[in-house]
Amino acid sequence: MSATGAAAASHILGPVDQVPLGEGRAFAVDGEQVAVFRLRDGTVRALAAVCPHRGGPIADGTIDRQQVICPLHQHAFDLTSGCSTTGAEPLQAYRVSVDGEQNLVLETGGV
Amino acid sequence: MTSVAERAQSRPDGRARSRDSRRRLVVIGNGMAGARAVEEILARGGAEQFSITMFGDEPYGNYNRIMLSHVLSGEESDADIFLNPLSWYEDNGITLHAGVRADRIDRFAKHVFSSDGRVTPYDTLVIATGSRPHLPPMDGLYTPGGSVKPGVFGFRTIDDTRKMAEHARHDHHRHAVVIGGGLLGLEAAAGLRSFGLGVDVVHSGGHLMSAQMGPDGGAVLRRSVEALGIGVLTGSRTTAVLGRDRVTGVSLRDRPDIDCDMVVVAAGIRPNVDLAVLSGLPVERAIVVDDRLRVQDEDHIYAVGECVQHRGEVYGLVAPLWEQAVVLANHVTGADTSAAYLGSRTATKLKVAGVEVASMGLQGPELDTDEHIVFSEPSRGVFKSIVVRDNKMVGATLLGDSRKVAFLTQAYDRGLPLPEERLGLMFDLGTPGEDVGVAELDDDAQVCNCNGVSKKDLAAAVRGGCASVSGAMDATRAGKGCGSCKLLVKQVVEWAADGAVEEDPAATYYVPGIPLDKAALMAEIRKRGLRSVSAVFHALAPGGAEDAKSKMGLASLLKMMLADQYVDERDARFINDRVHANIQRDGTFSVVPQMKGGVTSVQQLRRIADVAEKYNVPLIKLTGGQRIDLLGIPKEDLPQVWADLDMPSGYAYGKSFRTVKTCVGKDFCRYGTGDSTKLGVEIESRFQGIESPAKLKLAVSGCPRNCAESLVKDVGVVAVEGGRWEIYVGGAAGAHIRKGDLLATVDSPEEVKVLTGRFMQYYREHANWLERTYAFVPRVGIEHLRAVIVEDAEGIAAQLDAAMQASVDSYVDPWSERVDPLTPGQFRTSLPLTVLPQVPVR
Ligand SMILES: Cc1cc2nc3c(=O)[nH]c(=O)nc-3n(C[C@H](O)[C@H](O)[C@H](O)COP(=O)(O)OP(=O)(O)OC[C@H]3O[C@@H](n4cnc5c(N)ncnc54)[C@H](O)[C@@H]3O)c2cc1C
Ligand code: FES
């Protein structure tokens, strides 16, 4: 990423409870489309929002603690690394966390 | 943990190795022949006799090269084709130098010199270096620096395949030329087509696959290949690759140039013999071996696979090398010193670019007295040609239909007498069917050519305890090559198990993440009082782990079992069920309002028209279920669309009761005998939206003309003479076609509704997840269903009716969720193209 010249930046995406437990929601951040997931244990993950297979909406996928399954053709991606377990190209993974005010904080660039 | 401890124990220090009294076996080449030879050696107690070292030029374990075509076409991932992963070498105590070339052998000192500077002594050596693509001389193949021009590819290794895929995926790359119209070239062409590239195959022979078949078969194959959108130029030679530093096209002799972004050269293979030549071993077309697979005049050096020449033959398919590996192992280990390899008859059975091809022996008649039987049906891509001499089969080519291949191969291999009526060679003429065929098949008959598995091997695996089809396939690898033999493998396993084929345990799980079948799962859920999907995972999944692939099935099951007692966790639902619409390929949704029995009104039509206009709906379509589909609605518009429509959901998205199709019925139709429309509307009103293991499509027809297609529905009702109604179940007319079975003939619409509900409830309780009724009904049997549902043989009818009633009572129209979204952002777009507020950088 740093090769493209994008500087590392963090973004506050607003309250974490915009994302229901066990689901994902998409955000447009700095021109990038990011799907943020909230696992049932309360932790959060973030991946690029567009499936590399045929452009499926990743935030609409079904998740467990490890993976998200794209709703269009069921390719699966590891929520932490973005690597596909079904042979698709990987999704970019982002660092994401929840701050003291219960806001989602996402980092772009310089990952 | 334990494995580390064990390893430490078995090799406490270097002394264990120096005490090693075993002889040293070194294998050069870690491909299909080398690894198979080692497997055969290990199977004969080789681990006690030898310490084994392998050199492989490719930096991986051994993989199934045949499957590279599937990897290229995306049907298989490259991780799934490994036959011997790196752990296999470790587990068997084999030292593997992966990514290391052997450069030279000193036959006198018995040393192998390799590219990493290592010198490795051996007592016995096996050479299995295989082949490489042949790049025929043409201009412009190489850059001035001497490397192959970027954009030119051979097709031999996993790395070749990855690079081709990467190149093909490049946005600006639109066209590919494949040089060579044999097996490999056609597979490459079909693979590249799947990337959406235009592909031309340039073949110097007069017809495709000229090594395997004659011109007539080649012409039929050409049609099938062209039907895949692949251009075919036969009798045409490529003279130059164009482009300065990358490929821009090719020049052909006698034809105009073709512009292209990549060239795949599949014009034959050449054995890898440099090492042998350099080391002074006898090499003609390939390394010369005797009937023991020993290199001519060498006592301690063997060779196997595509790099060998045996009795003048060099083979380019895997089947011969399985036979070679067995003989070699028998000699190397001394298990059977009388074993001899006498050559392989090349009967090939392949799947090329999706077309089944089998060929053996002669391609056409050679003597005046030869009989030649030919059947050609180009429109279906079927071609069969058989050559008979002295009442023996001496050659056959089969394209597009391989049903008789097992029999023909055997007739060819063993010179069996042939049926008087020659047509019987090509078609089953109501004489011995497929099953008898399997029983009659020779024990040694090869079932899977790709992995060299005979009927005997499969039968032994079944007797050894692998009584399931997939178990036997795993144990023998049968069916894991090109896949064209899977049907035969299944038949042989069934025959060997004598009807006692076991299901895989995992195949009976209701959902993959919980190791219980449906009945046991339901019992546990009841016993423990589980009411939500997360509670089920917590209580019943191994380690309490959630499993994304299991969520939707569990949600459906719990809703069915608990009706309004179900604790609905939205994340367990598939996106369609979260937003009550059907997701489309572009991430938009389709909206289908309920239109009971296909009956609508002026008001409804007007509202639908208004909505379509207001939201600029890109496509308005009548569905097969007699409704109106509004396609291309963005997620965020869904609630407002429903509000404007003010109609209930038609459930065109769920694994649930969908529609009841009806004909016009007796009020208007001249033929109608029963009021099908009224009954259809009533059925839909009663069962709207109930969830089930798979979708349910129903129909009611007012007379036996069956205008609503009741015979091919999950439940189909037909009015017959005398005011009676027939109920059919288990029909289908989609990817699968099946005529429904008659469940009952009843006297009144009321009874139709009761039995329909009772059948659906029984199906909901007993069918596997995603098992449509067309599979469920034949599985449990229509007699059983009649007994339980119509005659109440098990005394559960009242219970089924009550459970269905509870589901009916808990129905809520999901489109009412529009006012008050159930989860935050339920209808927020997931493809934020422009819609979302941009988040400022901190
Ligand atoms: C795309 C494709 C599809 C195919 N489809 C079919 C099919 O449908 N049916 C069929 O029967 N056959 C098919 N084949 C042919 C089949 O794969 C070969 O017959 C088989 O792999 C030959 O095995 P081998 O061990 O002799 O050679 P290989 O499998 O090529 O193994 C040789 C190995 O030795 C290594 N090596 C070479 N020289 C050295 C050295 N000096 N030092 C160390 N290592 C070395 C090579 O890197 C290679 O890994 C197909 C082949 C390809 C490429
Ligand atoms: S678009 Fe994601 S799996 Fe096809």
User: What whole-number distance in Å separates Cα of residue A40 and Cα of residue B546?
Assistant: 9
Chain-centroid distance of CA B737 in Å reads 21
- Judged against a pLDDT cut of 60, whether residue A10 lies above it is answered with yes
**Pocket of ligand 1, candidates B26, B27, B28, B32: which has the most ligand atoms within 8 Å of its Cβ, to mutate?**
B32
- The reply to whether B279 and B322 lie within a common domain is yes
- The reply to whether B701 and B565 lie within a common domain is no
pLDDT in tens, B444-453: 777 887 777 8
Residue position matching structure tokens 């006498």: B342
- Rounded to 5°, the CA angle B125-B126-B127 comes to 120
User: What whole-number distance in Å separates Cα of residue A36 and Cα of residue A94?
Assistant: 9
Whether A58 sits inside 8 A of B571 (CB atoms) is: no
Residue A40 in any domain: the answer is yes
Atom of ligand 2 nearest to the CA of A51: 2
Question: For position B742, what pLDDT does the model report?
Answer: 94
Chain-centroid distance of CA B752 in Å reads 41
pLDDT in tens, B41-97: 999 999 999 999 999 999 999 999 988 988 898 777 888 788 888 989 999 999 999
Question: For position B98, what pLDDT does the model report?
Answer: 95
Nearest CA in chain A to B822: A20
- The reply to whether B115 and B193 lie within a common domain is no
* Exposure of B597 in the CB half-sphere (CA atoms within 13 A): 22
- The reply to whether B774 and B661 lie within a common domain is yes
Which-ligand-closest: CA of A52? 2
User: What whole-number distance in Å separates Cα of residue B430 and Cα of residue B423?
Assistant: 12
Distance B49 CA to ligand 1 centre (A): 27
User: Nearest to residue B301, comparing CAs of B317, B279, B323, B319?
Assistant: B279
**Pocket of ligand 2, candidates A54, A77, A86: which has the most ligand atoms within 8 Å of its Cβ, to mutate?**
A54
Closest residue CA from atom 51 of ligand 1: B66
Whether A22 sits inside 8 A of B571 (CB atoms) is: yes
- The reply to whether B174 and B123 lie within a common domain is no
- The reply to whether B18 and B79 lie within a common domain is yes
User: Nearest to residue B180, comparing CAs of B234, B120, B114?
Assistant: B234
Tell me which of B171-180, B267-276, B490-499 is least confident.
Answer: B490-499
pLDDT in tens, B270-307: 999 999 999 999 999 999 999 999 999 999 999 999 99
3-state SS, residue B800? helix
- The reply to whether B328 and B248 lie within a common domain is no
Please enumerate, as own/partner, the contacts of B404-411 that have beta carbons within 8 Å and a separation of 24 or more: B404/B428, B405/B349, B405/B358, B406/B437, B406/B438, B406/B441, B406/B445, B406/B447, B406/B488, B407/B437, B407/B441, B408/B358, B408/B360, B409/B347, B409/B349, B409/B358, B409/B360, B409/B445, B409/B446, B410/B441, B410/B442, B410/B445
Q: How many domains does chain A have?
A: 1
Distance A60 CA to ligand 2 centre (A): 11
pLDDT category at B707 given cuts 50, 70, 90 is confident
Question: For position B720, what pLDDT does the model report?
Answer: 87
Q: How many CB atoms lie within 10 A of CB B770?
A: 14
B823 in reach of chain A (CB within 8 A): yes
- The reply to whether B685 and B808 lie within a common domain is yes
Question: For position B5, what pLDDT does the model report?
Answer: 36
Supply the ipTM of this predicted assembly: 0.88
Whether B839 sits inside 8 A of A25 (CB atoms) is: no
**Secondary structure (DSSP) of B463-480:** HTT--SHHHHHHHH-TT-
Residue B356 in any domain: the answer is no
Whether B546 sits inside 8 A of A65 (CB atoms) is: yes
User: What whole-number distance in Å separates Cα of residue B25 and Cα of residue A24?
Assistant: 56
Residue B783 in any domain: the answer is yes
Q: Which of the listed residues B287, B305, B333 is the one where a domain comes to its end?
A: B333
Residue A30 in any domain: the answer is yes
Name the CA dihedral angle for B504, B510, B516, B518, rounded to a multiple of 10 degrees: -120
- Closest-CA distance of chain A to residue B38, Å: 30
* Exposure of B63 in the CB half-sphere (CA atoms within 13 A): 24
pLDDT in tens, B562-586: 888 899 898 989 998 888 898 888 8
- Average pLDDT estimate for B368-386: 89
Percentage, residues of chain B above pLDDT 90: 53
B832 in reach of chain A (CB within 8 A): yes
Domain enclosing residue A71, as ranges:
20-108
pLDDT in tens, B401-417: 877 777 787 778 777 77
Query: Residue A32: its chain B contacts at CB < 8 A?
Result: none
Residue B583 in any domain: the answer is no
Residues 6+ apart with CB under 8 A from B123: B23, B24, B25, B50, B110, B300
pLDDT in tens, B647-706: 888 888 888 999 999 988 777 776 666 788 999 999 999 999 899 999 999 999 988 888
Residue A55 in any domain: the answer is yes
Whether A9 sits inside 8 A of B841 (CB atoms) is: yes
Nearest CA in chain B to A69: B548
**Pocket of ligand 1, candidates B67, B317, B328: which has the most ligand atoms within 8 Å of its Cβ, to mutate?**
B317
Which helix (H) or strand (E) segment holds residue B62: the answer is strand B62-63
Whether A18 sits inside 8 A of B587 (CB atoms) is: no
Residue B234 in any domain: the answer is yes
Residue B342 in any domain: the answer is no
- Rounded to 5°, the CA angle B223-B229-B230 comes to 75
Question: For position B629, what pLDDT does the model report?
Answer: 93
Whole-prediction pTM: 0.55
Higher pLDDT: A87 or B33? It is: B33
Question: For position B501, what pLDDT does the model report?
Answer: 64
Q: Which of the listed residues B209, B243, B267 is the one where a domain comes to its end?
A: B267
Residues 6+ apart with CB under 8 A from B139: B239, B240, B241, B251
CB B621 within 8 A of CB B629: yes
Which helix (H) or strand (E) segment holds residue B349: the answer is strand B348-352
Q: Which of A41, A62, A70 is the best mutation test for B, with the most CBs of B within 10 A?
A: A62
- The reply to whether B118 and B163 lie within a common domain is no
Nearest CA in chain B to A73: B585
Q: What is the CATH classification number for the domain harbouring B721?
A: 3.30.413.10
Cα end-to-end span (Å), chain A: 7
Residue A11 in any domain: the answer is no
Residue A54 in any domain: the answer is yes
Residue B546 in any domain: the answer is yes
pLDDT category at B6 given cuts 50, 70, 90 is very low
A12 closest CB neighbour out of B829, B836, B842: B842
- The reply to whether B753 and B670 lie within a common domain is yes
pLDDT category at B9 given cuts 50, 70, 90 is very low
Domain enclosing residue B70, as ranges:
4-131+271-333
pLDDT in tens, B10-32: 444 434 445 678 999 999 999 99
Residue A3 in any domain: the answer is no
3-state SS, residue B673? coil
Residue B145 in any domain: the answer is no
**Beta strand spans in B433-528 (E):** 446-448, 453-454
Higher pLDDT: B492 or B110? It is: B110
Higher pLDDT: B428 or B795? It is: B795
Residue A45 in any domain: the answer is yes
- The reply to whether B674 and B797 lie within a common domain is yes
CB B94 within 8 A of CB B53: yes
Nearest CA in chain B to A60: B575
Question: For position B111, what pLDDT does the model report?
Answer: 97
Q: What is the CATH classification number for the domain harbouring A61?
A: 2.102.10.10
Residue A4 in any domain: the answer is no
- Judged against a pLDDT cut of 50, whether residue B596 lies above it is answered with yes
- The reply to whether B235 and B253 lie within a common domain is yes
Question: Whole-number mean pLDDT of chain B?
Answer: 87
3-state SS, residue B833? coil
φ, ψ of residue B716 in degrees (nearest 5):
-130, 135
Whether B841 sits inside 8 A of A65 (CB atoms) is: no
Q: What is the CATH classification number for the domain harbouring B168?
A: 3.50.50.60
Residue B143 in any domain: the answer is no
Q: How many domains does chain B have?
A: 4
